[in-house]
Amino acid sequence: MHRFRTTVVRLRPLTAQSQSRPRPAAVGGGSRTFQQPARHLTSSVAAEPFLNGTSLNYVEEMYYTWLENPKNVHKSWDVFFHNANAGAPPGAAYQRPPPLTGTFQGLAGVQALVEAQPNMEKLVKDHLAVQSLIRAYQVRGHHIAKLDPLDISCVDFDDAPCTVGFQNIGLYDLAKCDLDKTFRLPTTTFVGGNESALPLREIIQRLEVAYCQHIGVEFMFINDVEQCQWIRQKFETPGIMRFTLEEKRTLLARMIRSTRFEEFLQKKWSSEKRFGLEGCESLIPALKTIIDKSSLSGVESVIMGMSHRGRLNVLANVIRKELEQIFCQFDSKLEAADEGSGDVKYHLGMYHKRMNRVSNRLITLSLVANPSHLEAVDPVVQGKTKAEQFYCGDTEGKRVMSILLHGDAAFAGQGIVYETFHLSDLPSYTTHGTIHVVVNNQIGFTTDPRMARSSPYPTDVARVVNAPIFHVNADDPEAVMYVCNVAAEWRNTFHKDVVVDLVCYRRNGHNEMDEPMFTQPLMYKQIKKQKGVLQKFAEKAIAEGVITTQDYKEEIVRYDKICEEAYTRSKDEKILHIKHWLDSPWPDFFTLEGQPKTMSCPSTGISEEELGHIGNIAASVPVENFTIHGGLRRILKNRANMVSQRECDWALGEYMAFGSLLKEGIHVRLSGQDVERGTFSHRHHVLHDQNVDKRVCVPMDFVSPDQAPYTVCNSSLSEYGVLGFELGFAMASPNALVLWEAQFGDFHNTAQCIIDQFISPGQAKWVRQNGIVLLLPHGMEGMGPEHSSARPERFLQMCNDDSDVFPKLSEDLAMRQLYDCNWIVVNCSTPANYFHVLRRQILQPFRKPLIVFTPKSLLRHPEAKSSFDDMLPGTHFRRLIPDDGPAASGPQAVKRVIFCSGKIYYELIRERKNRGADDAVAVVRIEQLSPFPFDLVKEETDRYPNADLVWCQEEHKNQGYYDYVKPRIRTTVRRTRPVWYAGRESAAAPATGNKHTHLSELQRLLDTAFDLDAFSGKC
Ligand SMILES: Cc1ncc(C[n+]2csc(CCOP(=O)(O)OP(=O)(O)O)c2C)c(N)n1
Ligand SMILES: [Mg+2]
């Protein structure tokens, strides 16, 4: 009894879940009122020895069965439920069941029944025990499943004891003699098939087959009963894992391709790194099964992300990249045809449309190019998938889906995996279910899982989103194929994430040159003894008569010949075209040669009428009976006033840019933390009804009846995940303005990997363009070391323009510079310029990432406003804004030109006015920092021949823009004039935490900027 109690205690949290199962409709019409048995019974549990917390499960089972048909339960239960429904007080109803024939007749009758059923307690206990045992298999069967082909698994379940198996029935107070007794099966199992009761021995045997062979199903944490039942049915139903002869032959053929491909590469290029798949060859049939099944259910496009392991094999045998294109990548003599750095072969992406032979439907497969940084591509794939779904109106993910492949160490170790999972169920980020496949070779480079993670499985991170996890022994290709089928069906049914954990091994070292015996001697002794999976599977298939030995050998010869022929053809390739490895082509956007269709950009201004119209939308609540907050009413009124005065603040400038692009059919998507309102409460793109929960209004949706859709979405609190996602979204189409806004600019560094590995060098590595916009609030406003700097110095340091080369001046210089740059970095000082730069992003004939340092206090600065005149047709983005005051009218008399960027401009002109230095000092704003406006800076330095040149910034000297602009201004003046510095001194932190220090630093730098003797005598 003690052991039984222990088991019960252990299982209690699990049994509690069963109370949430859907209730079957009551039979026989409306008379049954006993709708919540668990609750009725709980109240009287204390009074009844056999009805404790755990037995509720059993009673509940009985109740549902009785509801379906009273004859399906023992008469005593029938009477009991009948009486309870007839109004018997709960305690009395089950304490003293009445005689079998009558209605409730009082305690004497009930006593008679108990006496007539002396084994009642034992009966209940045994049924409970069987039910617990079944549940234990469902919960813990995977603990003892034979998942590891090497049989050395280091999965550590801590103190969780094994509670299943014949040897453990004692834990449930069952004895050997019970094995041949027949037990009713609860509705939470499908092991019975068509039987509703089975001998215990048979129940256990079937559970062993379902849960403890080569598949370990982890799903009981899912808190949706329907989903649990679905999985149980898929794995418990007797004989469910059967394949046709045809399916088995296809599987073998795929195993042959997978295995022989690696062997071929090994034979031809034995000293090249390829991160082969040996030890997990069943990955290829796994992916192909998922794709076949998904194609059959209507999926037309699959977007994949993966790291190094097996990538070439996936390209060759899943995506079907021409083999010669892969082989020629191994030729070190091939010249690169494209500009840029290119990338190593196991990072390149691919896009391919082909006929799926199983479904006979066209399917597009793309593999997104990725950096070495493991898992970084995950959110990018999700974003691209979401975009493709969005643009084809696939609101439920039925036509476009993603597959993510992971390594075991990376899946457990990289936080981006978790961040990406958390996007999976958010309305503006969900891709309606991703299939994750983990190549779990039980090692990460040289590190053993026992040192690499604290969770038993590498897949435990997926539990947070209630994704079922199917662990499978990758040495059993049939089991692999089965779980992949189920995973694809799961996604197609529930549109939620699912994980396939391919438990395998890595036959070689981390790469083919690496010696694994240094660090994993025992594992690799075992691996050396391990028969290859193809050989094992082929032997089984031959023994079962699936294929003859001769057919098998011929199939191998056939595939080897395909490889050889492709190898011969690959020798004809003279030039390496990275653009043949494009993952996201934009065929209509470029010419057939992949060039921009023009090299000019039209005016980014819009008509007065349009400005007025969009401005009025921005100032209105365009739906009836919608109560907005009083403070917002004031904001909107203020906007209306600005519109009537023909001017814009920052928020209105942004509105004009978005609204006009939407009107022109360009989708705009703004995503990031709290972007709907705006961190600084200036934007208010989503209005909330003050009286009705969740009722919102997005005025931007009312710009024009045939406008493109506007997406504005508050994101999860993740930078890495969300920026990656938006980058992927922007990848799908050039005809969308996709913006990610950081809460404060400095938080972008938690997404540094996306910036460093994808955004900055993406085009150079992968010949693909991307027009993503990063909005990074920036400015020294006394808020302390954080919340101040978006780190302009880092973005500028990564710009690819040459500080020492003054470009050849020409009409199209600005466009050429933009075309050649890796990204554009701006700090706009006026709403009009912000408006123009956003519109230019779309109107220019190519796509480049745009980094915008956005203001905070300037959002409400009375002078940081623009007139409609600066936004009308014929106006453009101004890369540099010259001084237009007295200094510009008398340039010869100007003693100093202060170049600056961003908010400091307003501090400078205020100080200049205070000092009466308007004639002596010119203040010039560089709005586009990179590509650097050499031509316009030259005009300014030429205009003021007698002035000294100063760069002024509010950031510290080793930060901000100084190191970037100084050599470029020097190049502009052919190093004939020095460029002095007025700004904060070098420092480790971006800003002081002390308000007083902040203000005195500011004053000091302004003093220097206007002290015309500050630099005399220095050189
Ligand atoms: C973010 C990141 N950190 C470190 C590395 C270096 N690295 C490359 S492969 C690897 C091991 C990966 O192990 P696992 O995810 O299990 O994949 P496997 O190589 O075993 O297939 C490491 C640490 C990397 N590529 N990316
Ligand atoms: Mg690994």
DSSP character string of 446-510:
TB-HHHH-SSSSTTGGGGGGT--EEEEETT-HHHHHHHHHHHHHHHHHH---EEEEEE---SS-S
**What are the structure tokens assigned to 759, written together?**
């955004």
Which ligand lies nearest to the CA atom of residue 378 in the structure? 1
199 burial via Cβ count (<10 Å: 0-12, 13-18, 19+): middle
**Ligand 1 atom 10: the closest Cα is on which residue?**
445
* pLDDT tens-place string over residues 965-1007: 999 999 999 999 999 999 999 999 999 999 999 999 999 999 9
Residue to substitute in 445, 461, 508 for testing ligand 1 pocket (most ligand atoms within 8 angstroms of CB)? 445
Alpha carbons 279 and 444: distance in angstroms, whole number:
14
**DSSP class of 155:** -
* pLDDT tens-place string over residues 716-741: 999 999 999 999 999 999 999 999 99
pTM for this structure? 0.89
Which ligand lies nearest to the CA atom of residue 407 in the structure? 1
* pLDDT tens-place string over residues 110-131: 454 445 555 778 888 888 999 9
Which residues fall within 8 angstroms of residue 138, CB to CB, at 6 or more apart? Answer: 188, 189, 211, 217, 219, 220, 232
Band of the pLDDT at 39, cuts 50, 70, 90? very low
* pLDDT tens-place string over residues 490-542: 999 999 999 999 999 999 999 888 999 999 999 999 999 999 999 999 999 99
Torsion of CA 99, 104, 106, 110, to 10 degrees: 30
Band of the pLDDT at 154, cuts 50, 70, 90? low
b or e along 919-954 (b: 16 or more beta carbons within 10 Å of the residue's beta carbon)? ebbbbbbbbbbbbbbbbbbbebbebbeebbbbbbbb
CB atoms within 10 A of CB 269: 15
Which residues fall within 8 angstroms of residue 338, CB to CB, at 6 or more apart? Answer: 577, 578, 579, 767
* pLDDT tens-place string over residues 411-460: 999 999 999 999 999 999 999 999 999 999 999 999 999 999 999 999 99
pLDDT at residue 117, as a whole number: 57
For ligand 1, is residue 311 a contact (CB within 6 Å)? no
Band of the pLDDT at 23, cuts 50, 70, 90? very low
Backbone angles phi and psi of 648, in degrees to 5:
-130, 140
Which ligand lies nearest to the CA atom of residue 377 in the structure? 1
Kindly list the distances between the CA atom of residue 324 and the CA atoms of 277, 315, 345, 566, 790, in Å, as whole numbers in the listed order: 19, 12, 13, 5, 46
Residue whose token pair is 């834990």: 171
Residue to substitute in 374, 437, 508 for testing ligand 1 pocket (most ligand atoms within 8 angstroms of CB)? 374
Confirm if 457 and 469 have CB atoms less than 8 A apart. yes
Alpha carbons 101 and 92: distance in angstroms, whole number:
18
Q: Is 578 helix (H, G, I), strand (E, B) or coil?
A: helix
Task: Give the pLDDT mean for 393-415.
Answer: 98
b or e along 456-476 (b: 16 or more beta carbons within 10 Å of the residue's beta carbon)? bbbbbbbbebbbbbbbbbbbb
**What are the structure tokens assigned to 808, written together?**
């050849």
For ligand 1, is residue 676 a contact (CB within 6 Å)? no
**Cα 935 to ligand 2 centre (Å):** 53
HSE-CB for 533 with a 13 A CA cutoff? 35
Residue whose token pair is 């917390």: 53
For ligand 1, is residue 439 a contact (CB within 6 Å)? yes
Containing 1004, the helix (H) or strand (E) segment is helix 995-1010
**Ligand 1 atom 15: the closest Cα is on which residue?**
407
Residue 862 has pLDDT above 70, yes or no: yes
pLDDT > 90 fraction of the chain, expressed in percent and rounded: 79
Alpha carbons 807 and 1011: distance in angstroms, whole number:
33
Chain-wide mean pLDDT for the chain? 90
**DSSP class of 709:** P
Confirm if 440 and 449 have CB atoms less than 8 A apart. no
**Cα 443 to ligand 1 centre (Å):** 9
- Would strands 215-218 and 469-473 be described as parallel, antiparallel, or unpaired? antiparallel
Residue whose token pair is 């010119």: 922
Residue 65's identity, in one-letter code, is: T
For ligand 1, is residue 444 a contact (CB within 6 Å)? yes
Confirm if 971 and 804 have CB atoms less than 8 A apart. yes
pLDDT at residue 17, as a whole number: 33
Alpha carbons 969 and 806: distance in angstroms, whole number:
10
**Ligand 1 atom 20: the closest Cα is on which residue?**
444
**Ligand 1 atom 7: the closest Cα is on which residue?**
445
Q: Is the peptide bond before 602 cis (omega within 30 degrees of 0)?
A: no
* pLDDT tens-place string over residues 252-297: 999 999 999 999 999 999 888 889 999 999 999 999 999 999 999 9
Band of the pLDDT at 205, cuts 50, 70, 90? very high
Task: Give the pLDDT mean for 101-106.
Answer: 45
HSE-CB for 700 with a 13 A CA cutoff? 27
For ligand 1, is residue 408 a contact (CB within 6 Å)? yes
For ligand 1, is residue 276 a contact (CB within 6 Å)? no
Residue 661's identity, in one-letter code, is: L
**Ligand 1 atom 2: the closest Cα is on which residue?**
373
**DSSP class of 157:** -
pLDDT at residue 584, as a whole number: 83
pLDDT at residue 572, as a whole number: 85
Per mean pLDDT, which range of 37-41, 222-226, 907-911 is the poorest?
37-41
Identify the bridge partners of residue 710 per DSSP, sorted by sequence position. Answer: 668
DSSP 934-973: HHHHHHHHHH-TT-EEEEEEEEETTSTTHHHHHHHHHHHT
1014 burial via Cβ count (<10 Å: 0-12, 13-18, 19+): middle
Alpha carbons 834 and 215: distance in angstroms, whole number:
56
Angle, helices 283-296 vs 245-268, to 10°: value is 130
Alpha carbons 72 and 63: distance in angstroms, whole number:
10
Q: Which atom of ligand 1 is nearest to the CA of 373?
A: 26
pLDDT at residue 16, as a whole number: 30
